Amino acid sequence: MITSILTVDQWFAQLMLAIRTPLSVRMFDTVTFFGSTAFIIALSGAIILVLVLSKRHYPYLAGFASALMGAAATGYVLKVLVARARPTGLIPAIAETGFSFPSGHAVASMAFYGFLAFLISRLYPEYRKVVLTLAGIIIFVIGVSRLYLGVHFLSDVLAGYLVGALWLWLGVLVTRKLAVD
């Protein structure tokens, strides 16, 4: 099974390399920023501040913190345990360091944008479909950007989505457990 996954990973990496253009590299380099640690931390700080100032939203704060911190910790531990090298040769279009599995961008974007969509859709249920659709698109495109830029394999991104989704689900459970509405 591992051999099959590695074969698909290599095939998909070569496919991304074959369709790469300079313009699309610049576009996906911009997109990937929205899943970066720096961006997610900065935006999380703003969201946490808003949630702290609006005291009635403490259950969301607890769920948000659980989802993000759990996702970040699990992603980091898995990177260290698996210690998978990033794609090499012509495949990477940008420079990245650290291990490849799972994709930290995929983990973070699933947990962050997923929980943000949950929060907004709970506070503004009339926008639920639009918010969830936009979040899904953002999460998907960030994952694709990591593949297109050649800094992750397909299995890295899929595993990242899975880890992020697990922590998103747990964050939602924490929020619902603490909510009194």
pLDDT of residue 107: 97
Through-space distance between the first and last CA atoms of the chain, rounded to whole angstroms:
46
The token duo for 144 is 């694709």
Query: What residue numbers bound the domain in which 61 lies?
Result: 2-178
CATH number at residue 112: 1.20.144
- pLDDT at residue 181, as a whole number: 54
Whose tokens are 């394999």? That residue is 153
The two structure tokens encoding residue 16: 């991304």
| Total domains present in the chain | 1
pLDDT of residue 26: 93
In this prediction, residue 137 carries a pLDDT of: 97
Cα torsion 38, 40, 45, 50: sign: positive
Q: Which are the contacts of 60, defined by CB distance < 8 A and separation ≥ 6?
A: 51, 119, 122, 175
pLDDT tens-digit profile of 37-70?
Answer: 999 999 999 999 988 888 778 899 999 999 999 9
Which two three-digit tokens encode residue 76?
A: 């980091």
Positions in the chain whose pLDDT score sits under 70: 90, 93, 180-181
Contact by Cβ (8 Å): 168, 115? yes
What sign results for the dihedral spanned by CA atoms 124, 127, 129, 133?
negative
d(CA 41, CA 64): 12
